Structure 1
Amino acid sequence: MKISCFVALTLVMAGCGNADYQKTKSGLLYKIHRKGQNKKVLPGQFVKLHYRAMIGDSVLIDTYQRIPAYGQYDTSTKNVHDFVDFLGEMNIGDSVVFIRNVDTMQKRGYLMYNESFKQGGTIKGYITVLGAFRTQEALMKDQEQESAKEKVREIAAMEQFLKEKNVTGYVKTPGGVFIKLHSQGAGVKVDSGMLVSVNYTGALKNGTKFDSNVDSAFGHPSAFEFVAKGNGVIPGWDEAIVYLNKGAKATLYIPAMLAYGPNAQGEKLPAFSDLVFDIEVMDVRPNMPKPAGPAADPHGH
């Protein structure tokens, strides 16, 4: 992923001043705060950074308390009206405030005017360069370490949430899913590779529903089928489902890194959403492979 992809997440902030700012050829304003160790970000390096974007006083995205963003510094894209235009001037450890012009972005086809991206508006972002890596392998190792730290934070936060909500008697799986069992069920126990049918309702921790197959408002009333431990669902479901039997009813409390992590799923599921699922196991049965069809004729006859 090119580092310029991160900037698509920014949103409008009107009325930003430009005192002491430098300007790129495309008109982007930026102001670097020198705190680094005189180690420049070099072309081709993989960069680790924190990033924040706001609309007015509202924070729309903020990695400063989450997993940093990663990407490759690609100097072949210049004069593109984003922070890659001045990244080469920054040292590792430096921070920057930058302001983009909505009209310029609209003319270049980066966005369309709407209630957020208003004509004459500006976009404000904040970046801190945390590190740089020569190889993708080094980047991936660092990313794995940061993901592990984030998961630990989320599990601790979920435990605090359950305490505040007076939820007791739950089971905590080794991976960090919290299962509140309402009834165990008397049927077959779920095991790896078995085909499971469930009814479910998913919500955020604030109670806002985002999906359900028992609520007609979501328009898909059929039971949901998946293979247990088959990687066909979010990791939190695979982690929890083998604790249940046919007929079981339970609530699953799933930290974000065991759901969709930093990846937003439309407007209903922002990045780093912890999820709560009420589920009922409707059926558990062997996953019988489908009969193979006629063998294809390699000669096309």
Structure 2
Amino acid sequence: MMKGKAGLFLLMTAIIVASCGKTSYKKTPGGMPYKLYAGKDTQKVMAGNIIKLTVTQKLNDSVLFTTDNGLPVYLMVGQQEPQPYDVSELWTSLKLGDSLVATQMVDTFLKRAPDRLPPSFKKGDRIFTHLKVQGIFANDSLARLDEDKARKEFAANESKAIEKIIADKKISTVKTPSGAFMEILTPGTGPVADTGNFVTVNYTGSFLNGEKFDSNVDSTFGHPGAYSYNAGMGEMIKGFDEAVLMMQKGAKIRVYVPSSLGYGSSGKPPKIKPNEHLMFEIELVDIKDKMPQQPMNNMPQIQVQPKN
């Protein structure tokens, strides 16, 4: 759960500064340094509760994960044994409204399990976790009600943000089933792609300010040439994939993808930040029943991240 912006980080930093001298670092039984900033509520976290958290996790100064401008994290306490040198050691020490700042040295993880760390984690690096307990629920049903409400509000806010951009540009769009926005640039004349088809596409991915982050038609990104994948099978981010499944062969579109249909709270470092909306120009070149051959180095940046 701790996997899925700077605002929360700055807020927590302000808390630290304001509390300077009042709260010192302690250590968990597993040796992890942390600071606890007590809220005003008295409701305690207990084993079996589901807690609602806002979280920002950073590697040095780089954001790894954040719920800022995104969805909160919900997790069950006591479902797994607390791990040493981990925030899970502290769950039952927290109360509603409490904030926590934890520091972990990458060196410690390198000693314990060097093969399990991402290549970007280097000796001497630090992981900073800032979190706040926003809710405590006695059972899964109550937590799901709250989470469903949060998801609906989040989706509505994401749609509003993109709808404003579309309105400002005075363009006409259609929605994909999950809520990406498609602008038809050139209508196609061939068949419509279907789930399980192998589709071949040309694409350019950009941020909403127009800055490109990936393309297979721009050689500066290092993988020119049409790209093929199995449509509707989870190989690509959802907003991209849904748009392709609404295209006819030969069509060209521009699709505006809310972060929840892109890379969500984790982003795709170092290029795509957490909770960032994206835009793709896509041409559907071909549709086949079997996977066509393509160069091994022609791998895009828009594939979904591996599921853990």
TM tier, smaller: 0.7 to 0.9
Verify: 1:129 aligned to 2:134, yes or no.
yes
Secondary structure at 2:246's aligned position in 1?
coil
Q: Which residue of 2 aligns with 1:294?
A: none
Q: Which residue of 1 aligns with 2:150?
A: 146
2:95 to 88, 91, 94: 91
Matching residue's letter, 1:280 = E
Question: 1:199, CA displacement in angstroms?
Answer: 0.4
Task: Kindly provide the CA deviation profile for residues 30-51 of structure 1, in whole angstroms up to 9, marking residues without a partner as x.
Answer: 22121x3x32101343321112
What percent identity do the matched residue pairs reach?
A: 27
1:222 to 225, 239, 255: 225
Secondary structure at 1:67's aligned position in 2?
coil
2:45 to 7, 28, 41: 41
Q: How many aligned residue pairs are there?
A: 271
| Structure 1 stretches of at least 4 aligned residues deviating more than 6 Å after TM superposition | 10-15, 54-60
- 1:1-301 equivalences in 2 (<5 Å): 1=1, 16=17, 18-21=20-23, 23-25=25-27, 26=31, 27-34=33-40, 36=41, 38-52=42-56, 62-74=66-78, 76-77=81-82, 80=85, 83-92=87-96, 94-98=97-101, 100=103, 105-106=105-106, 108-109=108-109, 112=122, 117=126, 123=128, 125-135=130-140, 139=143, 142-164=146-168, 166-285=169-288, 287-288=289-290
Task: State whether residues 24 and 86 of structure 1, in contact with CA within 8 Å, keep that contact through their aligned partners in structure 2.
Answer: no
TM-score norm. by structure 2 comes to 0.71
Structure 1 Cα separation of the partners of residues 58 and 164 of structure 2: 28
Which runs of no fewer than 5 residues in structure 2 stay unpaired? 111-120, 293-308
CA-based RMSD of the aligned residues comes to 3.9
Which runs of no fewer than 5 residues in structure 1 stay unpaired? 291-301
TM-score norm. by structure 1 comes to 0.72
Name the larger-Rg structure: 1
Structure 1 Cα separation of the partners of residues 221 and 58 of structure 2: 31
Task: State whether residues 185 and 246 of structure 1, in contact with CA within 8 Å, keep that contact through their aligned partners in structure 2.
Answer: yes
Task: Kindly provide the CA deviation profile for residues 132-170 of structure 1, in whole angstroms up to 9, marking residues without a partner as x.
Answer: 3545x7656654543333222211111012223x14122
Task: Kindly provide the CA deviation profile for residues 238-260 of structure 1, in whole angstroms up to 9, marking residues without a partner as x.
Answer: 32224322221111111111222
Question: 1:266, CA displacement in angstroms?
Answer: 2.2
Structure 1 Cα separation of the partners of residues 195 and 107 of structure 2: 53
Question: 1:18, CA displacement in angstroms?
Answer: 3.2
Structure 2 CA distance for partners of 1:184 and 1:42, relative to 1, 3 Å = same
Task: State whether residues 180 and 255 of structure 2, in contact with CA within 8 Å, keep that contact through their aligned partners in structure 1.
Answer: yes
Task: Kindly provide the CA deviation profile for residues 4-46 of structure 1, in whole angstroms up to 9, marking residues without a partner as x.
Answer: x79xxx8997995632215424553322121x3x321013433
Structure 2 Cα separation of the partners of residues 20 and 132 of structure 1: 30
Structure 1 Cα separation of the partners of residues 129 and 194 of structure 2: 50
Secondary structure at 1:108's aligned position in 2?
helix
Structure 2 Cα separation of the partners of residues 194 and 167 of structure 1: 34
